[in-house]
Each structure stands twice: as structure tokens, then as C-alpha cells.
């Protein structure tokens, strides 16, 4: 399945001041807060406005900006039967040794964090994101629903960060494999429900998967008595279980980045090289949305492992800086990446460009409600998205798909 769009976006958009004010007035300060009627009304208004803007500017795919959520991973796990919010888990005691996010949280003065644990067998009893999809599609003509995208957190999100053995109670599961099997069934049910309601593109956001490229995290795993390579293999298996028997025309892609906290904080640096071969060949995703806006991502050489039939969307435009990139330099970057992929696949760069590549910002513009790159404004955000569209039009010599 080719990438649905040459010009992409990662999904989250900066929240308008009115929405932030409504959330603040309602005291919605935690990741898993329930929306009040007043906030729901403000959210619907904000979604209507942001969808209208995307339609006006020709920005694709169309998203709700994740306006319903406090953070990118809100809204899924807490809706599953058998899952429970664990409040105020102490940092670092309640988390894996050397978990990279903790260093940033501690620097911000954050000493506890909420998470979700399995207290009983996990069951999908209702769609977690159906209301989000219904809110989005209300403002999009039905014939354009295929041009929309919804984002979801990864199956490994809670398990990867929490201290070994604490992602589920022993009364619920006796092994990680059992836990992931039930959780994967929930993902498959959610995919199918959204597909049946007309959605055709889903993006899984997994920034933590790149922690496996760092010595810090891998050494922490070993201190916890875990083989990091075996853990990565288990996580790849878990991701793939979510994709078993998905509808053929449901596009599911995986977004990987190195952190996108408020004020342009990033969590790690490092090349994809350490995990690239496993990531591209063993994971069953159609498309990989990769960060490539700065040197912290390394060079394009890991892309030589991309198999024919899979796609990469190159995140060459930064959401973390308001400065606009040079269009000619971006074009050169995309062609450089295509050359590396072509060498690995034994194809021409031109063929790679026209069958397997897209371009995007490196991440969303607000992975949390109060997020946003340092100095980034709403106007700057739209300028960046228009730059991505212009880049795609120049490379593909036609208006970008969508």
C-alpha cells in the first residue's frame, strides 16, 4: 500500500486560546480527565474551525488536531474494561531504570505521573475513539472521509515505561505475553469499529520505541534483569498482533520521534541504525513516519533496510522551531533519502520517490494541550504545513495528493 499522501501531517495541532481557557476553567489538568459539557462544546467549535482551515489550505490528511485530548496517548487505555488509572506513581521508583523521559520530567520539577494498569482481563467493550471520529467527520463531506486520519498510542505504551512487573496485577495476568494478547484484541476491535464507521487511515504514535537506540535505556533494562533485544522482539510481536486480520484498505502507519514536550524539549538523540533492520523488516506497518529535521536523528543510511512495498514519510520540517526551512534544501534532502533507499532495494531513486515516499513535519505541533515548539505560533504552524505541501508539489511535479 503506497502512502496515502505525498504531503502529510503527524496529527496534533496547536490548540486555540479559547479551548485552552475552557480546559483550564474546568480544571482539566490531568491526562485522563473527562470532558465537561462546556469543554466539549468548546472542543467541537475548535475542531470545526481547524477542519475548515485544513480544507481551505488543502492540508492533508485532515485531523481533529487531537483537540479532545490532553496528551497524544489519552483516550484509549482508560476506556478498556479491566484497566484502571494508577495515580501519582513516584518518579523514578515506579518506572524502569534509566527510562529517558524521567530525566526531562525531573528537570521540570515533576515528581509523580499517572499511568494505566491492568487489574483484570482486558476487554474492548466500546470504541474508545468513535466520538473523536464522529466529531471530525461531521465537518468533512463523506466522499472525503478517506482523506482523514486518526492517531492512537502504541500497545506497548504503559508496559514500556512502568517498573518491571507493574503494568498488570498478578491476579490479572501471569505473563507479558498474556497481557499483550488481550490488549492486541482490543486494538483489533478498535480498528474494526473505526473502519466500519468510515475511517481509512490510523497512525500509531510510539516515541518510546526509539529508546532502544540509546545505551542509557538498554543499560537500564539490563539493571532490571531484562535483555533489551529480547524486549524489542516482544514489542515488535505485540505491535504486529494488533495488525492481524486488519482490513486490506485500512492504512496503519507508525510514527517514531525523539520527544516533543512543551518548550521544544526532546528526550533523546541517536540514529535509527541500531533498530532499523528489525523495525523495517519485522514490523508489519504499511508506513513509517520518521523524524529527520535535525542532526539528532542521524543520517539517512538506516533507510537502506526499507523493503520494497513499505513506505517512509520523511519528517524534514520542524515543529519545534518557528524558522521556515529552505525549500531547495528540503528537496535535496528528500532526493538524498531516496538514493539511500534505492541503493538498498536495487531500484532507481525516481521509482522510490514515486512509490514509497512522502514528506511531513517531524512531529505534531502540540503532543500535549499546552505543547508547542519554542516561539511557534498558530500562523507559524500553518506556514509550516503549507511549506510541506509546497515541498510535495515541487518533488512530485503536481498538486500534492489530497
* pLDDT higher than threshold 90 for residue 391: yes
Read off the pLDDT of residues 66-75 as tens digits, 9 standing for 90 and up.
999 999 999 9
* pLDDT higher than threshold 90 for residue 370: no
Q: What is the reported pLDDT for 401?
A: 47
Read off the pLDDT of residues 209-228 as tens digits, 9 standing for 90 and up.
999 999 999 999 999 999 99
Q: What is the reported pLDDT for 397?
A: 76
Name which of 19-33, 262-276, 325-339, 355-369 the model is least confident about.
Answer: 262-276
- 261 pLDDT band (50/70/90 cuts)? low
Domains of the chain, by residue range, sit at 17-82+119-396
Read off the pLDDT of residues 156-172 as tens digits, 9 standing for 90 and up.
999 999 999 999 999 99
Q: What is the reported pLDDT for 266?
A: 62
Q: What is the reported pLDDT for 402?
A: 44
- Give the whole-number percent of the chain exceeding pLDDT 90: 81
Q: What is the reported pLDDT for 8?
A: 97
Read off the pLDDT of residues 44-96 as tens digits, 9 standing for 90 and up.
999 999 999 999 999 999 999 999 999 999 999 999 999 999 999 999 999 99
Q: Does pTM surpass 0.85?
A: yes
CA distance to 122, 132, 194, 256, per residue, from 180 (Å) = 9, 25, 21, 20
Read off the pLDDT of residues 175-206 as tens digits, 9 standing for 90 and up.
999 999 999 999 999 999 999 999 999 999 99
- 375 pLDDT band (50/70/90 cuts)? confident
* pLDDT higher than threshold 80 for residue 271: yes
- 265 pLDDT band (50/70/90 cuts)? low
**For residue 309, which phi and psi values (nearest 5 degrees)?**
100, -10
Q: What is the mean pLDDT of the chain?
A: 92
Domain 17-82+119-396 indexed as CATH 3.40.1480.10: no
Amino acid at each position: 500500500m503506497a502512502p496515502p499522501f505525498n504531503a502529510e501531517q503527524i496529527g496534533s495541532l496547536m490548540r486555540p486560546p479559547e479551548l485552552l481557557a475552557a480546559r483550564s476553567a474546568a480544571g482539566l489538568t490531568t491526562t485522563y480527565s473527562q470532558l465537561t459539557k462546556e469543554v466539549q462544546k468548546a472542543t467541537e467549535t475548535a475542531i470545526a474551525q481547524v477542519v475548515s482551515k485544513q480544507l481551505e489550505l488543502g492540508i492533508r490528511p485532515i485531523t481533529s488536531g487531537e483537540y479532545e485530548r490532553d496528551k497524544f496517548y489519552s483516550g484509549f487505555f482508560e476506556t478498556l474494561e479491566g484497566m484502571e488509572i494508577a495515580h501519582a506513581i513516584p518518579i523514578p521508583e515506579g518506572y524502569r531504570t534509566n527510562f529517558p523521559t524521567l530525566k526531562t520530567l525531573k528537570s521540570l520539577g515533576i515528581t509523580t505521573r499517572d499511568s494505566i494498569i491492568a487489574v483484570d482481563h482486558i476487554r474492548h467493550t466500546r470504541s474508545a475513539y468513535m466520538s473523536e471520529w464522529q466529531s471530525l467527520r461531521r465537518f468533512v463531506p463523506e466522499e472525503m472521509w478517506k482523506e482523514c486520519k486518526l492517531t492512537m498510542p502504541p500497545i506497548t505504551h504503559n508496559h514500556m515505561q512502568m517498573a518491571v512487573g507493574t503494568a498488570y496485577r498478578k491476579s490479572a495476568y501471569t505473563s507479558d505475553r498474556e497481557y499483550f494478547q488481550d490488549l492486541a484484541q482490543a486494538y483489533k476491535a478498535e480498528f474494526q469499529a473505526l473502519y466500519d464507521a468510515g475511517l481509512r487511515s490510523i497512525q500509531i504514535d510510539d516515541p518510546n520505541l526509539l529508546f532502544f537506540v540509546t545505551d542509557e535505556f538498554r543499560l537500564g533494562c539490563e539493571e532490571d534483569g531484562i535483555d533489551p533485544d529480547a524486549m524489542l522482539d516482544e514489542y515488535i510481536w505485540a505491535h504486529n498482533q494488533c495488525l492481524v486480520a486488519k482490513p486490506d484498505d485500512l492504512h496503519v502507519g507508525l510514527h517514531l520521534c525523539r520527544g516533543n514536550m512543551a518548550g521544544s524539549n526532546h528526550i533523546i538523540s541517536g540514529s535509527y541504525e541500531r533498530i532499523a533492520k528489525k523495525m523495517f523488516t519485522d514490523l508489519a506497518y504499511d508506513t513509517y513516519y520518521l523524524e529527520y529535521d535535525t542532526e539528532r536523528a542521524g543520517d539517512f543510511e538506516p533507510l537502506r533496510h526499507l523493503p520494497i512495498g513499505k513506505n517512509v514519510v520523511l519528517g524534514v520540517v520542524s515543529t519545534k522551531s518557528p524558522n521556515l526551512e529552505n525549500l531547495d534544501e528540503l528537496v535535496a534532502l528528500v532526493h538524498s533519502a531516496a538514493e539511500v533507499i534505492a541503493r538498498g532495494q536495487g531500484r532507481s531513486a525516481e521509482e522510490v520517490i514515486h512509490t514509497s515516499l512522502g514528506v511531513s513535519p517531524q512531529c505534531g505541533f502540540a503532543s500535549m494541550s499546552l505543547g508547542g515548539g519554542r516561539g511557534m505560533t498558530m500562523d507559524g504552524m500553518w506556514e509550516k504545513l503549507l511549506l510541506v505541501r509546497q515541498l510535495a508539489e515541487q518533488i512530485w511535479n503536481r498538486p500534492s495528493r489530497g
